[in-house]
Amino acid sequence: MTYVTDPIGDFLTRMRNAQAVNKRECRAPHSRMKVELSALLKKEGWITDYREEGEVPKKEVIVVFAADKPRLTLSRESKPGRRLYKGYQDLHPVLNGFGAAILSTSKGMMTDKQAREKHLGGEVLCTIS
């Protein structure tokens, strides 16, 4: 049995790998944080849809990619060995506003733009471009 020490990093890698081989969807083990991240990606228009399948021991999150959009460039920022926290003043637009940074804040997961508007800082989980 293998143990994943960085579930979010594993999720992002699964999505990158699935897109690299032109898969329409990606499957990953279920967690609340992965579902929140998928919901945020869908809300921002980066993915087409996501869903949860299965029962508790084998529950999965399935992410459906948009066929008409280019591949996502996903990079993990905060890692288990080096957590990265930023205040709202230190959050700068990713790719001059064309990308996004995903933060885990005290008010839930949100993009860097939303965090700046609400004057919230938090852990920078990943960037998308």
In a domain? residue 2: no
Asked whether residue 79 falls in the same domain as residue 46, the answer is: no
Residue ranges of the chain with pLDDT lower than 70? 1
Query: In this predicted structure, what is the pLDDT of residue 52?
Result: 97
pLDDT at 31: 94
pLDDT score, position 57: 87
CATH of the domain at 35: 3.30.1370.30
Q: How far apart are CA 28 and CA 20, in angstroms?
A: 16
Q: Answer for the pair 37, 8: CB distance below 8 angstroms, yes or no.
A: yes
Last residue of a domain, one of 64, 84, 109: 64
pLDDT, residue 1, reads 60
Same domain, 109 and 87: yes
Quote the CA–CA distance of 115 and 69 in Å, as a whole number. Answer: 26
**Residues 47-58 pLDDT 10s:** 999 999 999 889
Query: Do the Cβ atoms of 27 and 61 come closer than 8 Å?
Result: yes
At residue 26's C-alpha, the angle toward residues 24 and 31, to 5°, is 150
Overall domain count for the chain? 2
pLDDT of the residue at 2: 72
Q: Please give the residue range of the domain that contains residue 88.
A: 74-128
Same domain, residue pair 87 and 57: no
- Look at residue 53 and tell me if it is in a domain: yes
CATH number of the domain to which 122 belongs: 3.30.1490.10
Residue 68: what pLDDT? 87
pLDDT at 28: 96
